[in-house]
Amino acid sequence: MKHIFRHLWLQTLDTWNVFIAELRRIFRDPGVMVIFFLATLAYPVIYKAIYWNEQITDIPVAVVDLSHSPESREFIHKWNAAPEVKVAYSCTSMAEAEQLLRDQKIHGILYVPHDFAAQLADPFGQAHLSLYCDMSSFLYMKGVYLSCNMVMLESMNAIQIDRYEQMGMGKELAWSLVQDAPYTETALFTPTGGYGSFLIPAVLVMILHQTLLFGICMLGGTAREENKELYRLPGRGRGYSVFRLVLGRSAVYFMIYYALAVVLLIAMPRLFNLPHIGQVGDLLRFIVPFLLATIFFSMSMSVFIRNRETGIVLLISTSLIFLFIAGISWPKEMIPDAWRYLSYIIPYTAGAHGFIHINSMGATLWTTRTEYITLWSLSGAYFLITCLLYFFIGKYKEQQKQ
Amino acid sequence: MNYVISIWHVMRRELKQMFARPLYMFASVGVMLLSTFFFITLMRQGNAEKMPMAVVDKDQTAISRRLCHEMQATPSVDICLITSSYSEAREAMQQGHIYGIFVIPESFYDDLVSLKRPQLDFYVTNAYTVGGNTAYKQMLTVANLVSGAFQREVLRKKGMSDDMIMRRIQPLVVEGHMIANPWNNYSIYLVSTILPGILGLVCIMLTIFAIGYELKAQTSHDWLRTAGGNYTVAMIGKLIPYTVMFVVLGFGCYAMMFGFAGFPVYGSHARLLLGLLLYIFAMEAAGISLIGCVPTLRDAISIGALYSMLGFSLSGFTYPVSNMLPPFQALSWLEPLRHYYLIYVNEALMAAPWSNSMVPALSLCAFLLLALIVSPRLHKALVYQNYPLK
């Protein structure tokens, strides 16, 4: 009995020593400090500043009004009043407007044909407008197209009512015929509906994921370079000491990153006025498996990194691949099956979706259980993988020495 | 003649290093092959189709079921949940299963025919932009169709012909023309800039690494000696193999996008390729400038990573630069990807005259000048090796 306690005590002591050694290594390495602390805290601020204006407003557009009628002027006036666009040019011909578009001075053209007013005046006429959208950016297209369609729907109702009145219907009847099923539209969860509100939560999770990956790879690469005993316990030579190493190290990363995650995922959305309708308690619990999965994922990857800097050189482009494979920017339903299955093994996928569900859409931890369980499973799997890799590399090095 | 031989010696030395370590090939050819394959297959369909949504049908009559049916028949949405409970639909949305909820109120049909104007409600999520947008557009269309369908019935009873009815219901039509991307294809929006962006990452990272490693491993004297002590020869010899590789990768990627995947180019291929070439050179030059300013491999790599990742945001291919705060509008000039994107828009989408691309093209050339300005400092660092190694 005494023997077991002594054994356990020594094991704990070893783990503690690994913990302290790793902590010292991190705080003495300016490169890792820059990634763990500076990058992690500076990136969110930069991204928030880039996407400061949530709405795309005052997109310059041109109109080619050949109708020169009060009706066309009213339509253009209404469109101009929409926050998304600003009628910057009034052209006399399409050629002139096209030139402006080609020079990127405007991002949309509304063409009003000469028979516009006549068609509207005719009780059975149909007036046509042509809208040309600049497709160089999705957000230009969306702003120009939706705002014009909104004005069209609004004007259309007025015209319809006028025409029914001309047919001899009462105003009340005409109104209820045209608006027989009115509708309200509600953007749930993020009322501003801006680009930053959508992208930045996903980016915050990405920053945690990637800085952990790069930082741990840098630590691993440095130790390999300096020929340190990364996969053996320093000094004591009992067994391969895999668990003590993995637990001791991951505890350091977890400790540092739990604090950072609280800043990024809980404080920053509140500070930056991003969506933040989730329960703090749920977030605090959700962060745990996300960090563990990411830490063990990074530790498994770091085994393959031989130099201090190669981790970043090799893995920098994964940031984009992870973002897209997770199905944040591009809907997950549209992702080919093979890629989707692959995305499940990356902690970012479940981490980002879970965070968005809780933080931006007010889901509870119970509602987010799929992602929560996925992350715990990934933590377990990557923990085992890390241990196996450490074990085999330790053994291999041992053999090499002999 | 001497110079040519020296360049050849440096090149041979560099090629040996490139093939001695797997990193170089993995980080260039490997990354580009994977990324190109990934992004082109990822968005092959180009349009968000069959976005899942829910209908909360509190009416449960023939007409509400027909509404569901009509929505289901459109290509853009897929009604995967029909329920009478709004909270069930909301929970499905919070779980990320659906992007929109269409609510048909109780006694919708009765109210409709007795002209009591029942209210339709629809909800979309903004937490996922593309899915939410697609569901929103479809629900808006259907909500407007409802009024149209009802008017049609009433007018038919009055004995109007279908053509007249159509003009009555839709007295005003806006015909949308999507210039250069009539399919509103997302792949064309995104991949056409993301892949050059990743190519840029490869260029800048490997350039920094190839030069910075000489400093870190303290082999820069050997490198300069191979070049006969001439800095220019040393740089040219070192960069030729990489440049050839980047250009081959770039052109291969170009062929995949504008050939295999069929992205449109309405202007000139030659000028767009020239733009790509200048962009590759500019990214290399940016790498040289960085390692020249900060001649420590680790710092230059970290700064290079930050700089080139910001290029994706500052290029403005998703969120327009004109909508950013003024300091970031200014910063966007420092990103080669921004200039390449402008050339791409001019050439591929707008078919604009070449003079429109002059400013971005000259801006890309300015990066080469920057590398020249930093060169004396880099030369000194190579000679004196007076910077920290790690």
The token duo for B178 is: 């999507």
Shared domain for B245 and B347, answered yes or no, is yes
Question: Residue holding tokens 């980047």?
Answer: B246
Q: Which CATH number is A59-178's, of 3.30.70, 3.40.190, 1.10.3470, 3.30.1340?
A: 3.40.190
3-state secondary structure B202-247: HHHHHHHHHHHHHHHCCCHHHHHHHCCCCHHHHHHHHHHHHHHHHH
* B270: number of Cβ within 10 Å: 9
Question: Residue holding tokens 């949305």?
Answer: B93
Band the pLDDT of A235: cuts 50, 70, 90.
low
For residue B40, is it within any domain? yes
Total of domains in chain B: 2
Shared domain for B237 and B326, answered yes or no, is yes
Decide if B125 and A187 are in contact by the 8 Å CB cutoff: yes
Residues of A whose CB is below 8 A from B127: 189-190, 198, 201, 275, 356-357, 360-361
The one-letter amino acid at B80: C
Shared domain for B205 and B302, answered yes or no, is yes
* A167: number of Cβ within 10 Å: 12
Residues of A whose CB is below 8 A from B178: 133, 135, 141
The continuous run of DSSP H or E covering B177 comes out as: strand B172-178
Residue A114 near residue A67 (C-beta atoms within 8 A): yes
Please say if the pLDDT value at position A37 is more than 80. Answer: yes
Residues of A whose CB is below 8 A from B143: 181, 183
pLDDT digit string (tens) for A294-308? 999 999 999 988 888
Residue B113 CB partners (closer than 8 Å, separation 6+): none
Q: Which of A6-15, A74-83, B75-84 is predicted with the least confidence, judged by mean pLDDT?
A: A6-15
The token duo for A233 is: 């316990």
pLDDT digit string (tens) for A190-199? 666 688 889 9
For residue B209, is it within any domain? yes
Domain map (residue ranges) of chain A: 15-52+192-396, 59-178
Decide if A329 and B115 are in contact by the 8 Å CB cutoff: no
The β-bridge partners of A85 are A59
Mode of pairing for the β-strands spanning A85-91 and A127-133: unpaired
Q: What is the mean pLDDT of residues A339-355?
A: 96
User: What pLDDT is stored for residue B1 in this prediction?
Assistant: 61
Which of B112, B134, B190 is closest, CB to CB, to A181? B112
For residue B389, is it within any domain? no
For residue B178, is it within any domain? no
CA distances from A206 to A40, A264, A312, B381 (A): 10, 11, 15, 35
Please say if the pLDDT value at position A237 is more than 70. Answer: no
The torsion region of residue A193 among left (phi > 0), alpha (psi -120 to 50) and beta comes to: left
- Distance CA(B263)–CA(B380), nearest Å, equals 46
Q: How far is A282 from chain B (nearest CA, A)?
A: 14
Q: How far is B188 from chain A (nearest CA, A)?
A: 9
Decide if A198 and B323 are in contact by the 8 Å CB cutoff: no
Residues of A whose CB is below 8 A from B52: 333
Decide if A129 and B172 are in contact by the 8 Å CB cutoff: yes
Shared domain for B250 and B363, answered yes or no, is yes
Residue B188 near residue B264 (C-beta atoms within 8 A): yes
- Which of B169, B202, B233 is the C-terminal boundary of a domain? B169
Residue A213 CB partners (closer than 8 Å, separation 6+): A294, A297, A298, A301, A311, A315, A318
- What is the distance between the terminal CA atoms of chain B, rounded to a whole angstrom? 38
Q: How far is A358 from chain B (nearest CA, A)?
A: 8
- Distance CA(B17)–CA(B220), nearest Å, equals 13
Band the pLDDT of A163: cuts 50, 70, 90.
confident
Please say if the pLDDT value at position A402 is more than 80. Answer: no
For the sheet with B172-178, list strands across it.
A85-91, A59-65, A108-112, A127-133, B172-178
The token duo for A86 is: 């600003």
Residue closest to A135 by CA, chosen among B151, B187, B123, B340: B187
Sign of CA dihedral B304, B309, B312, B313: negative
Residue A58: exposure state from Cβ atoms within 10 A (0-12, 13-18, ≥19): middle
User: What pLDDT is stored for residue A234 in this prediction?
Assistant: 58
Shared domain for B157 and B226, answered yes or no, is no
Which of B48, B171, B178 is closest, CB to CB, to A126? B171
The token duo for B356 is: 């429109």
pLDDT digit string (tens) for A272-286? 989 899 999 999 999
For residue B58, is it within any domain? yes
B157 to chain A, any CB pair closer than 8 A? The answer is no
- Which of B115, B144, B169 is the C-terminal boundary of a domain? B169
Q: Encode burial over B138-151: b for 16+ CB neighbours within 10 A, e otherwise.
A: bbbebbbbbbbbbb
Residue B76 near residue B51 (C-beta atoms within 8 A): yes
Decide if B173 and A190 are in contact by the 8 Å CB cutoff: no
DSSP structure class, residue A53: -
Residue A375 near residue A351 (C-beta atoms within 8 A): yes
Mode of pairing for the β-strands spanning B120-125 and B100-104: antiparallel
Shared domain for B37 and B92, answered yes or no, is no
Which of B26, B144, B151 is closest, CB to CB, to A153? B144
The one-letter amino acid at B285: A
Residue B41 CB partners (closer than 8 Å, separation 6+): A336, A339
φ, ψ of residue B226 in degrees (nearest 5): -60, -35
Residue A320 near residue B216 (C-beta atoms within 8 A): no
Using DSSP, state whether B55 is helix, strand or coil: strand
Tell which of A46, A136, A372 to mutate to test the B interface (max B CBs under 10 Å).
Answer: A136
Residues of A whose CB is below 8 A from B131: 331, 333
Which of A52, A128, A331 is closest, CB to CB, to B48? A331
Higher pLDDT among residues A150 and B183, named by residue: A150
Shared domain for B310 and B339, answered yes or no, is yes
Shared domain for B138 and B196, answered yes or no, is no
Band the pLDDT of A2: cuts 50, 70, 90.
confident
Using DSSP, state whether A180 is helix, strand or coil: coil
We report the CATH number of the domain holding residue B101 as 3.40.1710.10
Range of the domain at B99: 51-169
- Distance CA(B373)–CA(A139), nearest Å, equals 38
Residue B169 near residue B148 (C-beta atoms within 8 A): yes
Cα-based torsion angle of the residue sequence A205, A206, A209, A210 in order, rounded to the nearest 10 degrees:
-150
Shared domain for B297 and B312, answered yes or no, is yes
Residues of A whose CB is below 8 A from B43: 330, 334
Please say if the pLDDT value at position A236 is more than 60. Answer: no
Q: Encode burial over B48-81: b for 16+ CB neighbours within 10 A, e otherwise.
A: bebbbbbbbbbbeeebbeebbeebeeeebbbbbb
Q: How far is A267 from chain B (nearest CA, A)?
A: 19
pLDDT digit string (tens) for B159-195? 778 888 877 788 888 888 888 888 888 888 899 999 9
ipTM of the complex as predicted: 0.91
- Distance CA(B184)–CA(B177), nearest Å, equals 10
Shared domain for B311 and B200, answered yes or no, is yes
For A34, nearest residue in chain B (alpha carbons): B302
Residue closest to B330 by CA, chosen among B344, B341, B316, B317: B316
DSSP structure class, residue B258: I
In the predicted model, residues of chain B with pLDDT beneath 50 are none
Decide if A189 and B125 are in contact by the 8 Å CB cutoff: yes
- Distance CA(B340)–CA(B343), nearest Å, equals 5
Residues 250-289 of B with CB under 8 A from A: none
Residues 51-90 of B with CB under 8 A from A: 51-52, 90
Decide if A177 and B139 are in contact by the 8 Å CB cutoff: no
Using DSSP, state whether A199 is helix, strand or coil: helix
For A371, nearest residue in chain B (alpha carbons): B95
Q: What is the pTM of this model?
A: 0.92
- Distance CA(A118)–CA(A15), nearest Å, equals 86
Residues of B whose CB is below 8 A from A34: 299, 302
B195 to chain A, any CB pair closer than 8 A? The answer is no
Decide if A128 and B129 are in contact by the 8 Å CB cutoff: no
Interface A:B, Cβ pairs < 8 A:
327
Shared domain for B362 and B291, answered yes or no, is yes
Using DSSP, state whether B53 is helix, strand or coil: strand
Residues of B whose CB is below 8 A from A368: 94-95
Residue A205 near residue A352 (C-beta atoms within 8 A): yes
CA distances from A145 to A110, A140, A381, B20 (A): 10, 8, 48, 55
Decide if B319 and A130 are in contact by the 8 Å CB cutoff: no
Question: Residue holding tokens 């220019």?
Answer: B232
Tell which of B172, B195, B215, B315 to mutate to test the A interface (max A CBs under 10 Å).
Answer: B172
User: What pLDDT is stored for residue A33 in this prediction?
Assistant: 92
- Which of B109, B140, B169 is the C-terminal boundary of a domain? B169
The continuous run of DSSP H or E covering B260 comes out as: none
Shared domain for B155 and B193, answered yes or no, is no
- Distance CA(A277)–CA(A280), nearest Å, equals 9
- Distance CA(A79)–CA(B112), nearest Å, equals 31
Residue B87: exposure state from Cβ atoms within 10 A (0-12, 13-18, ≥19): exposed
DSSP E strands in A158-241: the ranges are: 183-188
